[in-house]
């Protein structure tokens, strides 16, 4: 007789592991299939997780999970090829655990989540790729891997941004060059003391630093730097459609050799290099997220939000997994897995779809190349004028106006108006 599970989960990233953990805790029989040789080895993030969605699931999670540092310093930089202007905001750790955020290394963090899921009772198979879904009477009822077939009441697609299964079944995210960015990242080992010294942070406290401008070849995109315990995560993300001929590794090399970055990584040793798609198309790129016998969670559903000063996908992955589990448990009680639309309703009431709705016009706004080109030039130009004393007596306001004029008053007004409207 064929073995049947309550739920099969495709993908052991954050969304898949959290879904598995919660289902098993509720007594369901779960199989999680991950194509990587171990949980976490295939996964990439810039590296900052916002605690608000994971804290209610794993209370005091920062004490039990392998987090790197609590973020206490936020930096935002506007770069040209040679200059850089940085805003630096530092704070004390909030007393509200839901307001904290942490740098994480996915290899360690996802492995921990996988262990939590396994200890809760999830059956995990690594090193196997799900090739297709099985359907019967228009309902999804299992998965295929090579010649093997495995059956379940529900399949959760948690297979990430590049989900071939979603594409085949018209589910999840609309994947095309206009809705995707690509991210490349290195982990550079510096030593714990050096990280503390260079970034001026206390032990266990860290920096989240985002960059706009020259870093993405002046096209849609940006750079990021997160401090880990003894290393940094340094990378670039850029829109696929805006840079079709870009040499991706070269962009990262250019970033690393920028005068604002080079001294930071001097004598550092690259210990990991990875690249990954980021589903940045926003609300408009999300298709169907539930159907008969199937729900889509995390990146495969397109639940990712880049608002320029923050990149979020992990907290959305956690919440969508939690809500999918709720809908599946209720469906099991009703004995009807054909209708999983409760998941859609729960999402609509949660921050996941509320935030994606709030920023629904942002992907379009961010296609404006002035944001990555003229504005960083303008900002750096203003600061150059402000701090350059050379004996020429030109009123500062004239210098500033000249910089604004270089972008064009009409452009400034237009971009300000559309920018404000899209947030």
Ligand X SMILES: Cc1cc2nc3c(=O)[nH]c(=O)nc-3n(C[C@H](O)[C@H](O)[C@H](O)COP(=O)(O)OP(=O)(O)OC[C@H]3O[C@@H](n4cnc5c(N)ncnc54)[C@H](O)[C@@H]3O)c2cc1C
If binding is defined by CB under 6 A, does position 73 make contact with ligand X? Answer: no
Q: Which of residues 236-295 bind ligand X (CB under 6 A)?
A: 237, 276, 278
- Segment contacting ligand X (CB under 6 A): 6-14, 74-82, 261-269, 370-378? 6-14
User: What are the structure tokens assigned to 72, written together?
Assistant: 């206490």
CA-wise closest residue to 88 among 103, 104, 71: 71
Q: Kindly state the helix (H) or strand (E) to which residue 158 belongs, with its residue range.
A: none
Rounded least distance, CB 232 to ligand X, Å: 13
Asked if residue 183 binds ligand X (CB under 6 A), the reply is yes
**CB crowding 69-97: b at 16 or more within 10 Å, else e:** bbbbbbbbbbbbeebbbeeeeeeeeeeee
Q: Is 114 in the site for ligand X (CB under 6 A)?
A: no
Q: Compare residues 49 and 353 and give the one whose CB is closer to ligand X.
A: 49
Nearest approach in angstroms of CB 236 to ligand X is 8
Q: Which stretch binds ligand X (CB under 6 A): 37-45, 259-267, 287-295, 351-359?
A: 37-45
Among candidates 416, 343, 329, which has minimal Cα distance to 23?
329
Distance, in Å, from the CA atom of 245 to the CA atom of 222, rounded to the nearest integer, reads 17
* Beta carbon of residue 297, minimum distance to ligand X (angstroms, whole number): 6
Site for ligand X in 38-67 (CB under 6 A): 42-49
| C-beta of 12 vs 293, nearer to ligand X | 12
Q: Give the nearest distance from C-beta 203 to ligand X in angstroms.
A: 22
List all residues 6 or more positions away from 247 whose beta carbon is below 8 Å from its beta carbon: none
Among 7, 8, 14, 261, binds ligand X (CB under 6 A): 14
* Residue number with CB closer to ligand X (45 or 152): 45
355 binds ligand X (CB under 6 A): no
Task: Pick from 6, 9, 13, 23 the residue near ligand X by CB under 6 A.
Answer: 13
- State the Cα–Cα distance between residues 396 and 327, nearest whole angstrom: 61
Decide if residue 302 touches ligand X (CB under 6 A). no
Q: Which residues contact 321 (CB under 8 A, 6 or more apart)?
A: 14, 15, 16, 18, 19, 22, 156, 158, 297, 298
Q: Which two tokens stand for residue 291?
A: 């159907």
Among left, alpha and beta (phi > 0; psi -120 to 50; other), residue 298 is: left
- 216 vs 212, 221, 389, CA distance in Å? 7, 5, 31
Number of residues that bind ligand X (CB under 6 A): 39
Given 291, 299, 342, 415, the residue binding ligand X (CB under 6 A): 299
Q: How far is CA 304 from the centre of its chain?
A: 6
- Three-class SS of residue 167? helix
Judged by CB under 6 A, the stretch of 215-223, 246-254, 306-314, 323-331 that binds ligand X is: 306-314
Distance CA 403, CA 230 (A): 40
Minimum CB separation of residue 233 from ligand X in Å reads 8
Select from 317, 324, 327, 379 the one that contacts ligand X (CB under 6 A). 317
Residue 197 C-beta: closest distance to ligand X, Å: 24
Smallest distance from the beta carbon of 86 to ligand X, in angstroms? 18
Binding site for ligand X (CB under 6 A): 10-16, 33-36, 42-49, 129-130, 158-160, 183, 185, 235, 237, 276, 278, 298-299, 304, 311-315, 317
């Amino acid at each position: 007789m064929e073995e049947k599970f309550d739920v099969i989960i495709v993908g052991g990233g954050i969304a898949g592991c959290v879904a598995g953990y919660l289902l098993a805790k509720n007594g369901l029989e779960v199989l999680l299939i991950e194509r990587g040789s171990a949980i976490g080895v295939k996964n990439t993030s810039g590296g900052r997780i916002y605690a608000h969605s994971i804290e209610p699931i794993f209370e005091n999670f920062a004490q039990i999970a392998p987090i790197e540092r609590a973020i206490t310093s936020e930096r935002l930089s506007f770069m040209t090829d040679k200059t850089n202007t940085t805003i630096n905001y530092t704070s004390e750790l909030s007393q509200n655990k839901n307001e904290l955020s942490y740098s994480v290394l996915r290899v360690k963090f996802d492995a921990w989540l996988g262990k939590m899921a396994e200890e809760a009772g999830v059956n995990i198979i690594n090193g196997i790729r799900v090739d297709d879904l099985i359907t019967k009477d228009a309902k999804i009822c299992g998965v295929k891997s090579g010649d093997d077939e495995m059956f379940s009441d529900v399949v959760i697609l948690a297979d990430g941004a590049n989900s071939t299964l979603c594409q085949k079944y018209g589910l999840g995210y609309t994947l095309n060059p206009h809705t995707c960015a690509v991210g490349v990242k290195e982990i550079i080992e510096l030593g714990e003391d050096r990280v503390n010294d260079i970034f001026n942070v206390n032990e266990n406290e860290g920096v989240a630093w985002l960059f706009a401008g020259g870093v993405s070849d002046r096209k849609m995109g940006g750079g990021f730097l997160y401090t880990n315990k003894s290393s940094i995560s340094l990378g670039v993300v850029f829109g696929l459609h805006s840079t079709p001929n870009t040499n991706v590794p070269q962009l990262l090399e250019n970033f690393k050799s920028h005068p604002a970055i080079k001294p930071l990584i001097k004598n550092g040793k690259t210990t990991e290099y990875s690249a990954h798609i980021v589903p940045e198309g926003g609300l408009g790129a999300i298709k169907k997220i539930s159907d008969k016998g199937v729900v889509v969670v995390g990146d495969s559903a397109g639940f990712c939000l880049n608002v320029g000063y923050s990149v979020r996908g992990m907290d959305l992955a956690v919440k969508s997994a939690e809500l999918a589990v709720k809908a599946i448990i209720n469906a099991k009680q009703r004995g009807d897995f054909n209708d999983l639309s409760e998941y859609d309703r729960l999402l609509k009431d949660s921050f996941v779809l509320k935030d994606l709705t709030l920023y629904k016009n942002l992907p379009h706004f961010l296609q404006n190349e002035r944001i990555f080109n003229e504005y960083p030039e303008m900002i750096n130009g203003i600061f150059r004028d402000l701090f350059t004393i050379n004996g020429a007596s030109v009123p500062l306001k004239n210098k500033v106006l000249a910089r604004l004029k270089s972008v064009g008053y009409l452009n400034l007004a237009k971009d300000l108006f559309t920018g404000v409207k899209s947030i």
